[in-house]
Structure formats: structure tokens, C-alpha cells
Structure 1
């Protein structure tokens, strides 16, 4: 009889936690209990696993966050009906005290008991045989071999190393600093440099050992830490929308819809709301993380996401998360709304801050940062990798001409379904403003000699195709500051023209820029056939950071016709 009662309890919805390698599952939330719970995590625990059991019913998600003594998130995650398990492992450079708490709360569904938040104490578990496993490093980390195929070289390594440094930066100057452990309460910059970097490093050393990471950014903590908004006109009509972030992707899938994926926000935390759907008819946002079935991509920045209009699928590739790097390919079918992960053949290294272009159903991935084992610094790539979705294989084409030097944080625009124009980027300590063109028919690179006032050297800028012969470059980071200028390039004349528009004057980097076919509502006559195709297109700018502690969540909308008229 007792066995039947225990089985019936497991059939009910519940949230369970495992604290430590050998700890037993401990029930935190039940269907008949409270909506939220806080659990004190023992200082001896180095690993935490959170999972759900039983039917979800109408419940949407379970929010979970590890908080330090100052109630600053150490890490944030979310359980959904399609992602029912989360795990965290304390990094070697972090120190968890007995004041670390795990906060868990349920969203959606009907709970039979809606009492206030419950506070529990986690039971410590001491196994009889406490000898460490042979294949683990001190601190509980599992050793791993990195092969040349993963971009880690031929030798084994205990760590991937640092996530590269900022453009125009040296060891003492121009490096973004990501604080760990207790986190000092000074303003964090998107990309620290000079005196700011040394001050941030000193502040980090007082609390803990600082860690250098590309574009490390402070994290958004849901509703508790609202992102500061940009001082520009926005078209967002809904009060509900994404948190401020940088390093995300915004991918249009039809004339009325775009999908936002990933990003990192305030306090260098990866966004708790990683996926949104933008409806351009009224410029409203809809949370989309729970809309699709299947394994969703792990949180990341510096990835690419591109839509194939023929197969109606979004391809997400690469990116990084702290010291973790990705070379995986995730596919979201926008008709069935289901995620799948590709088991691809071929050799492609983990890459972040690369460019990805779609041409004839294939993904063209150029450049990017790839990890190297310590003590070598991470490097930038000058290689072109092509992914064939039909065969699920990566290959490298034979290229001729003068190809770009190694770089990351650059932009790539496909023009006239024949050419890819590559602009800017950086490879420490050099930041670029050069232009290259890849002829996709000949697979030949060439240097583009330009005229007019060119954009200054930059990386992590935004770019978008405006017409058959023009594209836009906006913002970015020059090694010291975020930029707020905009330029249009004409491929017929190979000339630059600077734009003077107040909507694009706020400095930002790591933002997203797209153009979409939206209903013509800017007052231009559709009788003018030369303008009708342009007047129905709109440029949208979302997110980014200003390197002064601000992470944007605004959505800027500008008519493409207005942009071209201002050039």
C-alpha cells in the first residue's frame, strides 16, 4: 500500500533538486504546495541539478536562480515542458558560501495552494565512501579531451582558455572584465578599457579572482532589474517585451514576424527570457520559449541565426557561454514549431562572433573567434565553412583571390544573390574598417577600394541590406567606446555616405538590425513603382549595449525609404 502511495506521488507534478554528486533527490515543489520556494545551498555542494516529474498540465515554466549573499544572481535557468532538467556546476574560481540560495517559482497553471514563498534548508548528504572519482578534477569538474576537430588542438587540456580579448586591446588595456563570485557593485561596462579595466580588475580582486571574457556583460534579472531604455523613439506598443541585452540574434521569418534568440544582459547574466516573437503589425512582443517543442539551444551570445525561406527553418550555429564554446547546429521548423539538433559530419571548430549568410540553401560561415587551450590566447579565423542542410555536412570550398585576414565581430551582407560584402571586425590588437567582396559564382575574394567618408574601424556593429545595391552599417565598438553613427554603402559606385538621423544616434554595440517587408504606412505613393518596393520595407534596430552599464531593450523602426532619402 505504501508503495502505491509513493508511485502516485511521483505521478503528480513536482520539482526536485539534487545537491552534490551523491545527494538524493529532494522534493522542492509539489502540485499541492506553494508556487515558490527558496532553498539554502550548503557551502560543501559544488553541483546542483533541478528537474521536474509528472505532467505539467497548464504550467508554462519554472524559473530558477542561484543567488549569492547580496541577492545577485550567480546563474539563472528555466524549466519548461520541453526542457525538464537543469544543472549547474560551481566553477573553480567561484566561492559559494552558506548564504547561497536557490529560488524556484512556477508560472502558469492552477495551484491548489497559493501560500506565500516557502523557505527550506537543504539536507546535506555525506556518502559512506567519499573518495573522489578518478576522472574528475578538484572541485568536481569532469576532465575532457579537446581534439583538433573541436578547435582545441591535438593535446588534452583542462580548460578552453579565455574567450579572446577586445579589439585594440592589450593585456593591461582594452580587455573586458567579467566579475565572478560576489561581484563588486561598481558599474560594469560592456567592453572595459584603460583605467576602467584596471579599476574593474582591482575591484574584482578584492572579492575574487577576475576572469577575462570577450564582451562580458552584466545580467538581467527579470523584473527585479529593469534594463535602462535607450533615449530614442521606439515603436513598441506593448508593455511586455524582452529584457535589455546584447549579443543576441533577431531573425525575420515572414513579413509580420521575427524571432529573437539568446543574448546577455545586466550583471553579465545570460537572459532569463532568451526567446521572443516580434509581431510587426503592432510592434508587439510575445514570449516564445515555450511555443516550440524539442531541445532548445543552450543560452549563448555571439551565435548566428538565419532563416531559409524555402524550407521555412531557422538555423542557429555556434556562439559561446562563459568558457563554453559551441559548434552545434540547431534547427527551428517554423511550420511545426519544433527544435531539432543536427548531428553534422565534417570538421567545423567552435566559433563565436562569426558571420553567417544563406545562399542557395547553404550556410556560409566566415571568420569568428575560436578557443585554444591555455596558455595560448584564443584566435580569430579567416576560414570559410559551408553547411549543407540536405546532407548535414560541413565542408570548406576552394577559394581564390585576396581573402580577408582573420577577424571576428565583422558583418557580411548578401547582395543581388551573388555577392557577399564583408566589412570591419577585429583581431587583437587590430580593429578593421576594410571591405572585401566574395563572388559566390567564382568563389573569389577581392578587396573593395572605396570612396567617400568610410566608417571608422569597428566590430560588433549592425548591418542590413537596404536595396539591390545598398546596405547599412551602424554603431559598433572601436576598442574604446560604443559608436552611434551610420553609413550607407553603394556597390555600384563603391562609395560611402554618412547618415545623420536622430533615431540612429545613440551609441550601441552588439545590437541586431534587420529589414522586413511591412505594410507601407509612411505616406509614400504606391503608384511610384520605383519606390513601392522600398516604401514597404522597414529597418528595425533592437538591443545592444553602450559600454557604460546600459543594456537596451528598445525597438527602433525606420522606413527604408527614409534612410535612402537621407543618404
Structure 2
């Protein structure tokens, strides 16, 4: 099909094996088109969407207003477009609903006090609510306020959380873990990019700055994130100098960071204003990226096949296979978990205990705990893990022996060179002593 126009700061969502792209920014011009990629046939098509008759904008235009910096969220068999920058901004956030069966947009009537209009905010689906944080208003004022929209009653709630909130920012990412914890990472102000991680407990409405494990990511804004189980994948973004090349993952139970892969050169995966989505197709998990800006606007698609072994929930032994598909960046995830046996009577070496660790999760009281496993399942997993560990140790042994052989040869060569140097030095000393004015000097 025909590729969508290159763009960034667009909205994207997956609904019924289709990826929808709406709006965005191209050369400073806001877009209003709705494009769809069929994930089964990998075919692009443009949706001829209209505003539902009777909405406030229907008298002005037959199409929805162009916008950028908005959020597209799927819920049930429909999806919502929340907030975003427009040419003629309203005083408060606008919520639009799209019905794919009728191909119509409608302006949602909400109740309560809506937030001020903005773009670059995060909108996170938590149960039957949308949690909106931060962004930048029409006057370029950065925000760090928190609002919740109940999708059942369409009522806004202005939340006054306790604790220290994140500094005002836009173009950050947010995720929800265990239907309780809202995580905020990165983003930027007008001159600074952030790499801080904040957690909001949605039950107590308290902000915190938790201790993290692993390599702390560099500052970035305009990045994209998607969750697969308890793993939060983060791609792209920029730091006011260049695009960020690493694809990161945060285990939201252990708060441990890992680097999945790193791209090279100016490619769409190192862009600002891109989107990242999760999709499950034919039993396989995929991450799909589209668009972005890194000196040029993108509408390209590429893929990465990733097999991950995660002993103790830490990434190890990456096998990567890159392939080109033309328009969309996709990350295929095959995850194998190696867990320590729960039986205590089995002897375990120090090296084994460092690699095979129990799976953990955050309990309802906020504490990390181990997950109990069935003994038979634990034994099978432990046997498989031991086989992998033995293979890894054998490979490490072979490599060490080869290294020792190389170092032995280098030692012999160095001894020969030292002997030759000492012989030359003796000859030079003898020649110097025969000089008639050597003693005077």
C-alpha cells in the first residue's frame, strides 16, 4: 500500500490486529489523516474518517482537526485521542473517540473540571481510567499536574498526590505495573533532558524515587515505551545533541535496567517523537515502531528478531537477527526464564547461585517477594538451566585455555626479546668503556 507521509509526534495504537496512526507533525504542519497498517498482510491503507454529525466541530469541517503531541489509547473495540497541540487550541483537553466499525470520530462529552489543553503529556490506561501527567500547554508552559478520567462515567478527577512529584516536563514516557504503580521516566524541559524515574502509588497517591539497579539510562526526551508483561521497553528519544541509540528494558518488579540492543547511524530507531506498540500475533510478541524525527522525518519500517535468555530476570546471551520489512520497525520477543529450584536439599555451587535466581514480583503491600513454584516445574526448569550453565562453563573453559596458550607464547617471545636486548646492551656498554675520554665524561 501507499506509505503514510513521514511524521513525528503522532498518535498510534493497536486494535484488532491493526496499527492505527493518527495526526502528527511534518515540517511544522499538523496532520489530521488516519492511516492503518494491517499486521496480518502488512498492508497500509488510509481511513476516510468523518466527524459524527451533531458534534461541535461538524459545522466547521467534515474531518477532525489536525493535531500533534496527542495520545492514542485503545479500550475495548474503540480508541481515544487525548489532548495534543492544535492550530487553534481550546482552553481544556479534548477527548475524541474513534469507532472503526463506522469509521467515525466523535467528540466525547466529559464531566468535572478538565485539565488545560496540552501536548507531549503521557496518558496511561489503568483499569477503566486514563491517567494524564505533565506535558506543555499552548503557552509553552511545562506542567507536572496529575488528572484521571473515569471512562465509565467520563468524569475528570484532579488528583493532589503527596510526596515530591517529577519536575515539570513533556515528551516523557509512562507505564503502569500491577494495576497500581505509575512509572514516569525521562522527558525534557525547554533546555534540559531528564533520566529520572518516578513512581506513583495509585492506591496511596504518593510519589517516590525508588532505588534502581543496573546501568542508569542517559537523559532523553521524545522517546517511546511499551510494556510486555513486567518488562518496560524504551526506544529512541534525543538529548538535544543526537538521537539515542539504545533500546532499553526495565524490569518493573526489580527496577533493574538492561540494554537490549544498540543501533548505529542515523536510523529511525534513534529518533524523537516516534511511537512504540505491543502486539501479539500467532502466539508471538512484537514491538512495532513507526515514525520519528532525527534530522529528517521518517515513515520507514524495519524489524529485529530477538531471543532473550533471562537467568534471574537479567538479560544475558543475546542472539539478534535483523531483517528489513520496508516500513515499520518491529522487535520480536522470545523470552525464556531460568529460575532457581525451590528445593533446598539440592547442593548448589557459588557460580550456579549467582546465575539461577528466583523470580520475584511486587506484592500488594509494595514489597518484593519470591514467587513459589511447583516442585516438578521447578526441577524441569532447573535441569534445563543446569544444561545451559554447563555449556556456558565449557565454552568459558575452552576460551580460557586458548587465552592461556596465547599468553604462554607471548611470554616466550618476550623472554627472547629481553635476552637479545641484554646482549645488545652489553655490547654497547663495552664499546663505550673503550673510549679514551669516557672516564673524563
| TM-score, normalization by structure 1 | 0.50
Where does residue 397 of structure 2 map in the other structure?
Answer: none
Q: Equivalents in 2 of 1:289, 1:317: separation in Å?
A: 20
- Aligned residue runs from structure 1 range 73-222, under 5 A: none
Where does residue 435 of structure 1 map in the other structure?
Answer: 197
Where does residue 537 of structure 1 map in the other structure?
Answer: 285
- The counterpart of 2:276, out of the listed 510, 513, 533, is 513
- Aligned residue runs from structure 1 range 496-511, under 5 A: 496-502=257-263, 506-511=269-274
- Aligned residue runs from structure 1 range 35-74, under 5 A: none
Where does residue 449 of structure 1 map in the other structure?
Answer: 211
Where does residue 80 of structure 2 map in the other structure?
Answer: 315
Residue 268 (structure 1) aligned with residue 28 (structure 2): yes
Where does residue 137 of structure 2 map in the other structure?
Answer: 370
Where does residue 351 of structure 1 map in the other structure?
Answer: 118
Contact 2:231/2:250 (8 A) holds in 1: yes
Task: Please report how far the alpha carbon of residue 357 of structure 1 lies from its aligned counterpart in structure 2 after TM superposition.
Answer: 0.8
Question: 1:447-502: CA deviations, max 9, x gaps?
Answer: 122122222111110101022x2111111011222222211111232211112255
Q: Equivalents in 2 of 1:537, 1:491: separation in Å?
A: 18
Between structures 1 and 2, the one with greater helix share: 2
| Distance change in 2, residues 1:291/1:351 (3 Å) | closer
Q: Equivalents in 2 of 1:290, 1:349: separation in Å?
A: 27
Q: Equivalents in 1 of 2:30, 2:263: separation in Å?
A: 30
| Distance change in 2, residues 1:563/1:250 (3 Å) | farther
Q: Equivalents in 2 of 1:323, 1:563: separation in Å?
A: 50
Q: Tell me, what secondary structure is at the counterpart of 2:334?
A: helix
Question: 1:210-245: CA deviations, max 9, x gaps?
Answer: xxxxxxxxxxxxxxxxxxxxxxxxxxxx4x221111
Contact 1:424/1:435 (8 A) holds in 2: yes
Residue 327 (structure 1) aligned with residue 93 (structure 2): yes
Where does residue 478 of structure 1 map in the other structure?
Answer: 239
- Relative to structure 2, which stretch is displaced further, 406-415 or 478-487? 478-487
Between structures 1 and 2, the one with greater strand share: 2
Q: Tell me, what secondary structure is at the counterpart of 1:500?
A: strand
Task: Please report how far the alpha carbon of residue 519 of structure 1 lies from its aligned counterpart in structure 2 after TM superposition.
Answer: 1.2
Residue 289 (structure 1) aligned with residue 48 (structure 2): yes
Residue 303 (structure 1) aligned with residue 70 (structure 2): yes
Where does residue 233 of structure 1 map in the other structure?
Answer: none
CA RMSD of superposed structures (Å): 2.5
Larger Rg: 1 or 2?
2
Where does residue 492 of structure 1 map in the other structure?
Answer: 253
Q: Equivalents in 1 of 2:88, 2:222: separation in Å?
A: 19
Question: 1:35-55: CA deviations, max 9, x gaps?
Answer: xxxxxxxxxxxxxxxxxxxxx
Q: Equivalents in 1 of 2:84, 2:235: separation in Å?
A: 22
Where does residue 362 of structure 2 map in the other structure?
Answer: none
Q: Equivalents in 2 of 1:505, 1:318: separation in Å?
A: 25
Where does residue 167 of structure 2 map in the other structure?
Answer: 405
Q: Equivalents in 2 of 1:366, 1:293: separation in Å?
A: 29
| Distance change in 2, residues 1:258/1:393 (3 Å) | same
Task: Please report how far the alpha carbon of residue 431 of structure 1 lies from its aligned counterpart in structure 2 after TM superposition.
Answer: 1.4
Where does residue 560 of structure 1 map in the other structure?
Answer: 333
Q: Equivalents in 1 of 2:300, 2:188: separation in Å?
A: 26
Where does residue 395 of structure 2 map in the other structure?
Answer: none
Q: Equivalents in 1 of 2:192, 2:88: separation in Å?
A: 23
Q: Equivalents in 2 of 1:564, 1:481: separation in Å?
A: 35
Where does residue 551 of structure 1 map in the other structure?
Answer: 298
